[in-house]
Each structure stands twice: as C-alpha cells, then as structure tokens.
C-alpha cells in the first residue's frame, strides 16, 4: 500500500519543466525594452507570484505525517518481534515445565513479584496484552497510511492565483481571435446559404462547433452573427440566379447550438493540457 504521506516528500527532486531547453523565468531579469514589454511584465509578475509562495507549512505537515507513520511501523515491528520471542519462551516453558531454580530463588528472597513474573500464566497474560497492542498498532498504521493528506491540495490552492493577470491578458487575446473566427464562420455560412457550395458547407460545419464552444464559454457574444455588408453585396451580385435557385443572402447567421462532445473537450492530466480524440 502506498503511503499517502509521501506525496510531497520528493518535492526537491521533482522537475516541473519537461523541456530541457526551457528555463524558469527569473522575474528580476524582465527586459522593459522588449517590443512585448507588457506581456513580458505580466510573465515576470507570474514568476514573482510563484517565487513568493511559501510551501514550508505543507512540507512540514507532510513530513510530520510521514514520520508518525514510520514511528508506528517501527514500533509495530518491535512488538511483533517481542511477541515471537515470548511465544518461543511459552512453548519452551510448557515443554520443560516450571523453572525450579528460578522459583526457588524467588521463594528464598520472598519476592512475590519475581515469583509471579516467571509463571506460565503471567507469560501468557503478557502475550495476550502484546497481541492486543499489536492489533491496535496495526489499525493505527492502516489509518495513518490511508488518512487523506491535504498538503498537495493546499499547495495547489496557493499556486492557482499566480497566473491570474496572465489569464486576463490571454482571455482578451483569445476573445479577439474568437471574434475573428466567428466573423469567418458568418462569412462562409452566408456563402453556403447563398450558393449551396459543398466546400462552403463543409468549412461551415467544421467551424460550427468551435464557434459554439467559444460562445458557450463567453469568448464571443452569445448572439446571432452579422454578415459583413461587403460579403452580402458580393453574394447578391446575381439576383436572378438567386431567385431561380430559391436562395437568399442572409443578413445574420444563427449562433450554432452548443453540444458537449469529448472531441472538443480539453482535459488536464499531470499538469499538461491534452485534447482527447
């Protein structure tokens, strides 16, 4: 059974940077003259936030829990060894009978305690006490090993706010890309509606779940998508053909309906974002 209290025992050995070519950012070396000064400053702030995190209490709690488990385990092993030796002594006493010489010495000095301690009954009673203690130590060992260790959760709670400024910056950036992607979808969907082009229909179907996902997560407005006037003018260049085909050029495109699908979900595993497929 794996000791849950060992979760943080190897923090000093764990290297969270997988790529040998990547070095953790030193917040004191951010270059204010770079073209991406604002972004570099945000990254430096993230690094500074991480450097400022003190996980000493969590490590001390984890080490204390580990030490308690090891102490119980050592004590249990000693008690089991003592019980085994006592069992051998009891079996020997049963086979050979009372130790006359020891009993005589106890009688001569009038030591009732010594007389009782050498008796088979006392040895068997001590064995029962040892077995009860061993049983309890075993229960405590299992409990200590299985007791939830919240040290890792506490460290993660301290880490979580560190990139907040970066998230705000990237969310704004992603929202801008999302709006452009939504505009692209509106254009190709309008072209598909006005021409029934298989190529346009295929691209619109490919973009549809992405646009729906962006809207569902607040990266673009949850509203019908307007079609650019220039696009509409180009698609309406041949009104007779449109009328003959029974087609129209839409002014807006309905926002695709969001349907959760594992193909478009993102999971976190072992600190990495992984797209499931």
Residue 1 lies in a domain: no
Residue 174 lies in a domain: yes
Q: Are residues 118 and 174 in the same domain?
A: no
Q: Show the domain range for 48.
A: 27-155
Q: Are residues 36 and 147 in the same domain?
A: yes
pLDDT value of residue 196: 95
pLDDT value of residue 206: 94
Q: Are residues 57 and 177 in the same domain?
A: no
- What is the Cα–Cα distance from 31 to 10, expressed in whole angstroms? 34
Residue 170 lies in a domain: yes
Q: Are residues 32 and 138 in the same domain?
A: yes
Residue 14 lies in a domain: no
Residue 53 lies in a domain: yes
Q: Are residues 170 and 258 in the same domain?
A: yes
| Residue 3 predicted with pLDDT over 50 | no
Q: Are residues 140 and 194 in the same domain?
A: no
Q: Which of 155, 188, 204 is the last residue of a domain?
A: 155
Q: Are residues 221 and 147 in the same domain?
A: no
Range among 63-67, 168-172, 183-187 rated most confident? 183-187
Q: Which of 122, 155, 188 is the last residue of a domain?
A: 155
pLDDT value of residue 265: 47
Residue 118 lies in a domain: yes
Which tokens hold the place of 257?
């309906």
For the chain, how big is the Rg over CA atoms in Å?
Answer: 37
- pLDDT bracket for residue 18 (50, 70, 90): very low
Q: How many domains does the chain have?
A: 2
Q: Which of 127, 155, 183 is the last residue of a domain?
A: 155
Contacts 24+ apart (CB under 8 A), 211-216: 211/181, 211/182, 211/185, 211/255, 211/256, 212/255, 212/256, 212/257, 212/258, 212/259, 213/258, 213/264, 214/178, 214/181, 214/182, 215/182, 215/255, 215/256, 215/258, 216/258
Average of per-residue pLDDT values in the chain: 79
Q: Are residues 140 and 219 in the same domain?
A: no
- What is the Cα–Cα distance from 270 to 263, expressed in whole angstroms? 20
Q: Are residues 138 and 242 in the same domain?
A: no
Model's pTM, two decimal places? 0.55
Q: Each residue of 59-118: pLDDT tens digit?
A: 888 888 889 999 999 999 999 999 998 888 888 777 766 666 666 766 676 655 554 555
Q: Are residues 35 and 151 in the same domain?
A: yes
Mean pLDDT of all residues in 132-161? 88
Residue 12 lies in a domain: no
Q: Each residue of 225-277: pLDDT tens digit?
A: 999 999 999 999 999 999 999 999 999 999 999 887 644 444 433 343 333 33
Which tokens hold the place of 248?
């129209």
Range among 54-63, 143-152, 160-169, 180-189 rated most confident? 180-189
- In the chain, the percentage of residues whose pLDDT exceeds 70 is 73
Q: Are residues 192 and 218 in the same domain?
A: yes
């Amino acid at each position: 059974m794996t000791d849950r209290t060992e979760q943080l025992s190897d923090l000093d050995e764990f290297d969270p940077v997988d790529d040998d070519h990547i070095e953790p950012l030193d917040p004191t070396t951010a270059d204010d003259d770079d073209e991406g000064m604002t972004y570099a400053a945000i990254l430096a702030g993230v690094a500074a936030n991480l450097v400022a995190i003190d996980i000493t209490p969590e490590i001390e709690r984890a080490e204390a829990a580990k030490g308690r488990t090891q102490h119980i385990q050592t004590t249990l092993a000693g008690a089991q060894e003592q019980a085994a030796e006592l069992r051998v002594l009891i079996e020997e006493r049963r086979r050979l009978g009372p130790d006359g010489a020891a009993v005589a010495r106890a009688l001569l000095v009038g030591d009732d305690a010594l007389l009782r301690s050498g008796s088979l009954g006392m040895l068997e009673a001590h064995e029962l006490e040892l077995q009860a203690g061993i049983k309890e130590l075993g229960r405590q060992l299992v409990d200590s090993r299985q007791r939830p260790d919240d040290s890792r959760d506490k460290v993660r709670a301290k880490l979580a706010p560190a990139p907040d400024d970066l998230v705000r910056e990237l969310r704004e950036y992603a929202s801008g890309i999302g709006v452009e992607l939504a505009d692209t979808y509106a254009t190709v969907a309008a072209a598909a509606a006005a021409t029934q082009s298989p190529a346009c229909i295929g691209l619109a179907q490919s973009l549809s779940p992405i646009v729906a996902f962006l809207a569902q997560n607040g990266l673009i407005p949850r509203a019908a998508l307007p079609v650019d006037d220039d696009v509409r003018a180009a698609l309406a260049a041949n009104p007779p053909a449109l009328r003959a085909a029974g087609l129209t050029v839409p002014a807006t495109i309905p926002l695709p309906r969001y349907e959760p699908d594992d193909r478009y979900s993102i999971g976190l595993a072992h600190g990495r974002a992984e797209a499931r497929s």
